[in-house]
A and B are shown apart, each in its own frame.
Chain A
Amino acid sequence: MSYLRFQAITKRFDTVEVIQPTSIDIERGELVVFLGPSGCGKTTLMRMVGGLDDPSTGQILLDGEVVTTPDRRRGMVFQSYSSFPWLTVAENIAYGMRYRTDLTPAEKAERTAHYLSLVGLRDFAASYPNRISGGMRQRVAIARTLAAGSDVLLMDEPFGALDALTRERLQVQLREIHRREAKTIIFVTHDVEEAVFLADRIIVFSARPARVLADVNVTQLLGADRHLDIRETREFFDLRNQVLHMIRHETEAA
């Protein structure tokens, strides 16, 4: 049985159907990108894994257990407001462990230091979030969820507000972190290029009400190692166009 299962999920807001019956199976350690037109319901699906939204029917199973409420095994990284402005970078990362009673203060300090350097922010440990760049703030949020001990990272367009170069760098770093930490990641975006570069697997959604249009195994086509050069290869280019066509067709239909 799969690690994370979406079992016949539907969602309605009042009378509006947002998500058509959807079933997805995700394996442990996969980096899955949910790609679809804006407002299609992909974020809602991801939030259900976090226990932040309830499906109208169906259920989410994580490691065989039904997801009902949020807990620290499933961490969120948002596009904005992702770190607390009143805590320093180090304190923000340590906040991920704040409610854990299984760790001693020394262990917490050690983990904070570890994740601080993992995301390359050791020199900014004592800075407040409004003193660092947007890209650094997103790295703080990623480090916080890792420090919390989340097995699943739920990322809601985390790089959406960043400039192209920063974005590219963070995409590379996220792949690297994913490889090293072996976490299961669901990454929501509407950027096709980002999806193809990051994903082990892309789930392409239709316009609202969401339904799975395609399930693309990217690793099979591009391999697991992603360098920036891959963006210039024929394979990358073809895959990007193929996915782009699916999305474009949907946006016109919507």
Chain B
Amino acid sequence: MTASPAKGHAPSAPQNGKGAFAPLFRFRGKAGSAVEAVVGILAALLVVGLWELAARLNLIAPQFLPSPFEVVAAGWRMLTTQSLLYHAGVSTARVWSAFLLAAAMAIPIGILMSSYRIVGAALEPMVDFIRYLPVPALVPLSIIWFGVGESTKIFLLWLGTFFQLVLMVADDMRRVPNEYVEVARTVGANSRQVMIDVALRSMGPSLVDNLRITLGWCWTYLIIAEIVASNSGIGFVIWSARRFVKTPEVMAGVVVIGIIGLITDQLLRALHRRMFRYL
């Protein structure tokens, strides 16, 4: 861990406020990360402000578009009296178990698919076919097979991610430069050592990126699974609120998913930076 003081232009930004923001308006100008964060937050506040304004002026009926304030209030109510945290926890646990299952299967199978043509030639047509099946279309089948318990949800999420991920992993593996493999072999590495010391290291950054993207998809399929068959989780919360046209609660539920997604994504990005410092 080498210390990197004064990264970017962040520290100088507050002193010469005007100067720091000037590059933002220049063609292909570069701005410090703090300045960019300020712009991002301001833009978001502007959108929320417009939304608040639209609601206050009754431009749109409140049962369709409640004000941001009401959504926050609904969120607080759900958090304190309707065990929102429990539901968020249940959903997160489902997403992660399905995601880890899919990853644990897709990484070795994907690597084998592009390393040995026998595996690739056998699996590629099948994977390509299943990959195009829309997950919602398989909900009825999944319920017949697994009932309405946890296994249905895990199965649907796995279905939506595994077949995509396995092809992405195969592609990451294919992109490992042949030169790396040959360098390893000419210093005496056997196949296993080439795989662990070189191929996995070389594909690491894109693999972790692909895992992060796939995790995002899991949330999409989760909500479908929870809406169709569940009595817990955020999808269930949103769907039950809809039945009573509690629009603020529906929106609060959606916002919670967004927040969880944002936090997870940032954590994984930070992990990526830590793991691959050399980039």
Contacts and interface: CB of A to CB of B under 8 A. Distances in A.
A98 interface: yes
Contacts of B201: 84, 86
Interface string A142-171: 001100101000100000000000000000
Interface residues of A, number: 31
B174 to A, nearest CB: 15
B182 A82 contact: no
A96 interface: yes
Contacts of A129: 278
Nearest to A97: B187
A72 B186 contact: yes
A148 B190 CA distance: 15
A145 B15 CA distance: 52
Contact of A52 (B180, B186, B202, B204): B186
Interface string A55-96: 000000000000000111011101011101110000000011
B188 interface: yes
Contact of B177 (A50, A70, A81, A95): A81
Nearest to A75: B186
A50 B278 contact: no
Given A51-B186, A76-B182, A86-B201, 4 more contacts: A72-B186, A86-B204, A86-B278, A130-B279
A98 B197 contact: yes
Residue in B187, B188, B201 whose Cβ sees the most chain A Cβ within 10 Å: B187
B186 A74 contact: yes
Contact of A84 (B188, B198, B277): B198
Nearest to B176: A81
Contact of B202 (A74, A75, A84): A84
B72 interface: no
A100 interface: yes
24 contacts: A50-B182, A51-B185, A70-B182, A71-B188, A72-B188, A74-B186, A78-B179, A84-B183, A84-B201, A85-B278, A85-B279, A86-B204, A86-B276, A86-B278, A96-B187, A97-B187, A98-B187, A99-B188, A100-B188, A128-B278, A130-B278, A130-B279, A145-B186, A154-B186
Given A128-B278, A130-B278, A130-B279, A82 B183 contact: yes
A99 B182 contact: no
B186 A76 contact: yes
A97 B184 CA distance: 11
Given A98-B197, A128-B278, A82 B186 contact: no
B187 A99 contact: yes
Nearest to A129: B278
Interface in B147-185: 177, 179-180, 182-183, 185
Interface in B189-222: 189-190, 193, 197-198, 201-202, 204
A129 B202 CA distance: 13
Contacts of A80: 179
A22 to B, nearest CB: 22
A25 B198 CA distance: 34
Nearest to B180: A81
B260 to A, nearest CB: 31
Given A71-B188, A130-B279, A78 B183 contact: yes
A96 B201 CA distance: 16
A84 B183 CA distance: 9
Contacts of A84: 180, 183, 198, 201-202
Nearest to B278: A128
Contacts of B279: 85, 130
A85 B190 CA distance: 21
A84 B205 CA distance: 13
Contacts of B190: 99
Nearest to A141: B183
Given A84-B198, A130-B278, A99 B186 contact: no
Q: Which 4 A-B pairs have the closest CB atoms?
A: A81-B179, A128-B278, A99-B188, A70-B185
Residue in A74, A86, A97, A99 whose Cβ sees the most chain B Cβ within 10 Å: A86
Given A81-B180, A84-B201, A130-B278, A52 B189 contact: no
A99 B189 contact: yes
Contacts of A81: 177, 179-180
A81 B178 CA distance: 9
B46 to A, nearest CB: 39
A72 B187 CA distance: 4
Contacts of B189: 98-99
